[in-house]
Structure 1
Amino acid sequence: MPTSPPSPPPSAESNAVLTALATRVLTRIDPLTREIVRLIVANEPTYQARGAVPVGLLTQSVDGNVRRILEALAGVRRAPEEELSVARTTGRRRAEQGVPLEAVLRAYRLATELVLGSLLAEVRGRPYDELAAFLDVTSAVMKVMDRHSEAVVDGYRRAEAELLLRDAQRQQATFDALLEGRGSDPQFAAGAVDALGLPATGPYVMVVATFDLAAQHSLGATRDTCAAYSFPAAWRIRGDREIGIVALGEAEAPVQRLLDALRRHPVGRTGVSDPFVALHQIPEAYRAAELATRTVTPGDGPQVVWIAERLPEALIVSSPALAQRLAQRALGPLLAQPPTEREMLLRTLAVWYETGRSAPLAAERLYCHRNTVLNRLRRIEHLTARSLEDHRFLLACYLGLLTLRLGQDKVRPAAPASTT
């Protein structure tokens, strides 16, 4: 479809008429400004709110903007940055005052309509050639007004971005302070819940979710899930971890509800602390959630774990040297066997625990006879010189198996006993 040819530029005579009209309106700018302010306050609820934009400041702003538009139409030449500085300042101030951009633009549109109306009023009753000349430059008038309107938006957006950055920096600083224990200060705690947008009272939990730095889709997935299921939360990213303070609300079994939501879309290793009610408990809860993530091995795949369900594993990963020593002492003789026998005995022992120490059930899982399981258990007792009826040895073996699963490469076979 062919496009219409561009309109020819206004003639010198038309520009001269526009200059004269704008100059005449400039001489009566005070009543025009008052009328614009009156209409803005009457028609925009945001401007009606007490203290949102004081009338004095609004009047000063309207006067500055209208004056710059009329001066541009009257032929006053300024550098673009200088011409649009008042419009950008208006946009910035309204963003800082919390006036919605839509309300700002409606007010600005109302002002430009009244400016255009004032120019039309000046040309009414004038000779026909002046009216024709004004119509010839109408598009030029609208371009000037659009240019100033765009500058308002630009100033608003820049200020908005700065305010968001400032808020984000404040939130991050507040979050970090809570992790460091500042929540024990009642005054700081009261300001923290406000800054982070959290409910003033718990229960809360800490959530730590790892994500793959190379897979951008995983970043924010835990945060999105909490938002989707209406859990108010504040978040902080540290390295490859997303840390959240999540408010549980008053629903029945709130921790289970959160776990169910997170487990529908697991990403990486996610640890959840026990519930707590006061912000001074955040450091301990954070350590618990972080500890919970360490109970999931990389080979386990994405998992969401609650510290209350992983206490034995947490005990092991929180004291790795002691756990390795315990595993070596309990299972060292098994680890010293040839690889095939070692794996067979450790697998049998693990399945025996998993099936409630039932030889028949373990045999089903291992696809062997019940007596085979019993013979392997006796072999373990022979190698360790300990009885699986001994509750201390029974516990040590279980913790030893967990240690192997969580860090098998760090546990070495027991050294042969000295004969001297």
Structure 2
Amino acid sequence: MPADSQAVLTAAARRVLDQLPELTRRIVGLIVAREAMYQSAGAVPQDVLSQSVGNNARQILEALAGTKRPADEELAVARTTGRRRAQQGVPLEAVLRAYRLATQPILNALLAEIRGTPYEGLAAFLEVTSAVMKVMDRHSEAVVAGYRQTEAELRARDAQRQQATFDALLEGRGGDPETAAEALSVLGLPSPGPYAFVVAPFDIAAHHTFSAAQDACAAYSYSAAWRIRGDREIGLLALGNAPVSRLIAALRRNPVGRVGVSGPFEALHEVPEAHRMAEIALRTLPRQSAEVAWIEERLPEALVISSPGLATRLARQALGPLLDLPAEERDVLLQTLAVWYHNGRSAARSAELLFCHRNTILNRLRRIESLSGRSLEDHRFLLTCYLGLLTLQHLPEARPEWAALINRVPTP
């Protein structure tokens, strides 16, 4: 701006500063009339708005009057305004509209002071208008910066509060009525239940399992709270009037990675047990699979995984003589036994799948009975053999020497 025009603007801004209370009143009136968020029932009380408008107008006019301050100090009021409006929940668009509404009264006041001076011409008008808009833009940008920073801080604080609340439920504090009520509020879940718990491994590199589960739940309108804990992604879902089977079907439509799901439960004090059940359901799945395991459908496997010591002992008792055979015979007998179980203990169907005669299947089963000294007609032996096979399939780490068997025992 030419020196003469700058001198005129500086003098005008100083005179308008003397009119600050009246200018503040006009700006506040305009904002309240145009913006619902600043009206009597809005988020910002009028006395707070008046103080804020006065402080911001003073900073703007002092900048136009040539008051020299460090940039951080000049824009501190604008940044503070942005931060406070974010804390008050005023939309950023409404904050910026209020700034734009304040521009015209400030500009009108300055031009009123310039009229009658030798620099009343069009060039001077344009120069003054441009100067005012530049200062207003700079302050508006500071408002946005303060708003965005506070918005991010509030999101982080909310996330921390949600995580702390989720952890409190996992620790079993949901039995306290006040804690339970606060948890439902913080996590955005309805009351009463039923609820269900979901667990999936968290892949830091791919991070896709979590979004797939979330997307499926969101697509079917489930209210849910999610948390990453260690190497697991966990979710607490409100089932509403739908059965768990609907949730399972939704998750299975596009499975990505392994997912374990608990049974339904009614109260938040049951969260720790539901979490444990979902984790056990997850562990019944092969590590590289892309499946959804519902605990209610995998209770035998869950029994084995829940008590690996006893399961290993049971497997050794039931299948020990087979496991001690030379590898070739051992694998044939274990394969035959597994196929026989998974086909309704039908020798004919098992023979079809293993490409042999029905009598061959019967002979192998008799060999198993002979080795164990027990009959497969004995319901206890029948049960322990089946649980022993499940142990081989789901707990290869329980006995390292059995690990090699796992891929050679098919599960049709």
Q: TM-score range by the shorter chain?
A: over 0.9
Give the residue type in structure 1 aligned to 2:69. R
Q: Deviations over 1:20-57 (max 9, x none)?
A: 22112211111111111111112111112526211111
Aligned pairs (5 A) from 1:67-82? 67-82=58-73
Residue 216 of structure 1 aligns to a residue whose secondary structure is coil
Give the whole-Å Cα distance in 2 for the aligned partners of 1:56 and 1:375.
Answer: 94
Q: Distance in 2 between matches of 1:96 and 1:219?
A: 30
Equivalent position to 1:284, from 255, 273, 277: 273
Superposed, 1:141-160 pairs within 5 Å as: 141-160=132-151
Q: Does residue 250 in structure 1 map to residue 234 in structure 2?
A: no
Return the letter of the residue paired with 1:261. A
SS in 2 for 1:207: strand
SS at match of 2:153: helix
Instruction: Measure, in 2, the Cα distance between the counterparts of 1:193 and 1:371.
Output: 62
Residue among 191, 194, 197 paired with 2:182: 191
- Aligned partner of 1:304: which letter? V
Alignment partner of 1:206: what SS? Answer: strand
- Does the CA contact (< 8 Å) of 1:124 and 1:131 recur in 2? no
Matched, 1:118 2:106: no
Counterpart of 1:103 in structure 2 is 94
- Report the number of matched residues: 402
Cross-structure match for 2:407 = none
What is the CA-CA distance between 1:108 and the residue it aligns to?
1.1
Question: Does structure 2 conserve the Cα–Cα contact (< 8 Å) formed by 1:211 and 1:267?
Answer: no
**Structure 2: how far apart are the matches of 1:240 and 1:267?**
16
Describe the shift of the 1:311–1:217 C-alpha distance in structure 2 as closer, same or farther (beyond 3 A). Answer: closer
The alpha carbon displacement at 1:366 in A equals 1.3
Aligned residue for 2:263, secondary structure, equals coil
Q: Distance in 1 between matches of 2:57 and 2:74?
A: 12
Aligned to 1:294: 283
Equivalent residue in structure 2 for 1:45, among 36, 54, 69: 36
* Alignment deviations for residues 109-156 of structure 1 (CA, whole Å, 9 cap, x no partner): 111222122223333444455653232243232111100000011111
Aligned mates of 1:32, 1:298 — CA distance in 2:
70
State whether residues 13 and 133 of structure 1, in contact with CA within 8 Å, keep that contact through their aligned partners in structure 2: no
Question: Per-residue deviation at 1:378?
Answer: 0.9
SS in 1 for 2:197: strand
Change beyond 3 A, Cα 1:39–1:315: same
Which residue matches 2:260? Answer: 271
Deviations 1:219-260 (A, max 9, x none): 433223222321111111112110110111123xx3111111
Residue 339 in 1 paired to residue 327 in 2?
A: yes
Q: Which amino acid aligns with 1:390?
A: D
Q: Separation in 2 of the partners of 1:24 and 1:408?
A: 86
Which residue is equivalent to 1:17?
8
Identical counterparts, % of pairs: 68
C-alpha change, 1:155 and 1:340, in structure 2 (3 Å) is: same
In 2, the alpha carbon distance for the partners of 1:413 and 1:394 equals 24
Letter matched to residue 19 of structure 2: R
TM-score after normalising by structure 1: 0.92
Q: String of CA shifts for 1:333-372, please: whole Å, max 9, x gaps.
A: 1111111211111111111111100111111111211111
1:236 partnered with 2:218: no
**1:317 is matched by which residue type in structure 2?**
I
Q: SS at the partner of 2:344?
A: coil
After superposing on structure 2, the runs of 4+ consecutive aligned residues of structure 1 that deviate more than 6 Å are none
Counterpart of 1:402 (choices 390, 401, 406) is 390
Is 1:325 aligned to 2:316, yes or no? Answer: no
SS state at 2:150 partner = helix
What amino acid maps onto 1:231 in structure 2? Y
Q: Distance in 1 between matches of 2:128 and 2:104?
A: 16
Query: Which of 349, 352, 355 is the matching residue for 2:340?
Result: 352
Find the aligned partners of 2:264 and 2:85 in 1 and give their Cα distance.
41
SS of the residue corresponding to residue 267 of structure 1 reads coil
Greater Cα offset, 113-122 or 264-273: 113-122
**Cα distance 1:237–1:49, how it changes in 2: closer, same or farther (>3 A)?**
farther
**1:189 to partner: Cα distance:** 0.7
Q: Which amino acid aligns with 1:363?
A: A
The residue number in structure 2 matching 1:261 is 250
Whether 1:64 and 2:55 are equivalent positions in the alignment is: yes
| Corresponding letter in the other structure for 1:264 | R
Look up the equivalent residue of 1:36 and give its one-letter code. I
In the alignment, what sits opposite 2:173? 182
Counterpart of 1:323, as a letter, is A
